[in-house]
Amino acid sequence: MRTILIAAGAFALMLGGFAPAEAAGCIKGAAVGGVAGHVAGHHGVLGAAAGCVVGRHNANKSAREAQQARTTNTNAAPDTTDR
């Protein structure tokens, strides 16, 4: 078990060197998922990985919605009412 964790950690470090760090949502999701996985049966690492994926998905979804809101507000018709 220890050998697998060491190998997985080394693999993660190796991949981390090639990709830019974009942890939006991943850190919080990994923390919550790790705790939930540990409580659910000592599967903290699996829970952390799943939490990271879900957190990243939610961060991307929020960013996409914010971008659409900015685009909608920018393209809104100007106020032509007489004041």
Residue 2 within any structural domain of the chain: no
Tens digits of residue pLDDT in 35-50 = 888 898 888 888 899 9
Look at the chain and report how many structural domains it folds into. Answer: 1
Q: Is the pTM of this model over 0.85?
A: no
Range of the domain at 40: 23-73
Q: What angle do CA 53, 67, 54 make, to 5 degrees?
A: 10
Q: What is the total residue count of the chain? A: 83
Q: What angle do CA 30, 33, 34 make, to 5 degrees?
A: 80
Residue 30 within any structural domain of the chain: yes
Contact 53, 29 (CB under 8 A): yes
Positions of the chain with pLDDT under 70: 13-23, 74-83
Residue 59 within any structural domain of the chain: yes
> What would you measure as the largest C-alpha separation in the chain, in angstroms?
74
